[in-house]
Amino acid sequence: MSTDAIWKTPFTLELANRLGLNTANANMGIEMIEAGPDYVVGRMPVDHRTKQPAGILHGGASVLLAETLASWAGAFVVDATKQSVVGQEINANHLRPATAGWVTGTARPIHLGRRSQVWEIRITGDDGKLVCISRMTLAVIDRPGAARMDQRGQ
């Protein structure tokens, strides 16, 4: 991927965090903390909300963080007045347990196409070691009415 900024809709951490209020993001403690020219970073606490009964980070919580990051990134790569993105597929390999502190995920694009996007999300623990690696495919869809307007040249 090029190091040129990929955002077609201005990406602000404040907007992403505000729109995440009263959603799964906020309920799980997910915070967007950084956006670069071709990546986004978010974090999630490893606490009673995100642990499984065995006392380690729940794999589903890792997937929720990964999907949150890829979905936010994908939504800002398209022109939000004309298109949006929806998840098609996600996978995750859980590599090591996290028991406390925070996990931090970084989403970077692998493919940014006209109708699909593929994102890699690397989730690390406080020690910087890889906890989970995930890949998500997003479908790029037209907003209602946007395709008709484009076809008329407007």
d(CA 96, CA 23): 27
Whole-prediction pTM: 0.90
Length of the chain: 154
In the predicted model, what is the mean pLDDT of residues 38-64?
A: 98
Phi first, then psi, for residue 18 (nearest 5°) are -65, -45
pLDDT on residue 146: 65
Contact 33, 41 (CB under 8 A): yes
Choosing from 31, 34, 67, 89, the catalytic residue is: 67
Contact 57, 91 (CB under 8 A): no
d(CA 4, CA 15): 22
pLDDT exceeds cutoff 60 at 32: yes
Contact 132, 123 (CB under 8 A): yes
In the predicted model, what is the mean pLDDT of residues 7-22?
A: 91
In the annotation, is 67 catalytic?
yes
Residue partners of 121: CB distance under 8 A and separation at least 6: 65, 66, 69, 70, 105, 106, 107, 132, 133, 134, 135, 136
The residues spanned by each domain of the chain are 13-151
Instruction: Band the pLDDT of 67: cuts 50, 70, 90.
Output: very high
The CATH classification of domain 13-151, taken from the options 2.60.120.10, 3.10.129.10, 3.30.70.1530, 3.20.20.140: 3.10.129.10
pLDDT tens, residue by residue, 127-154: 999 999 999 999 999 998 765 444 444 4
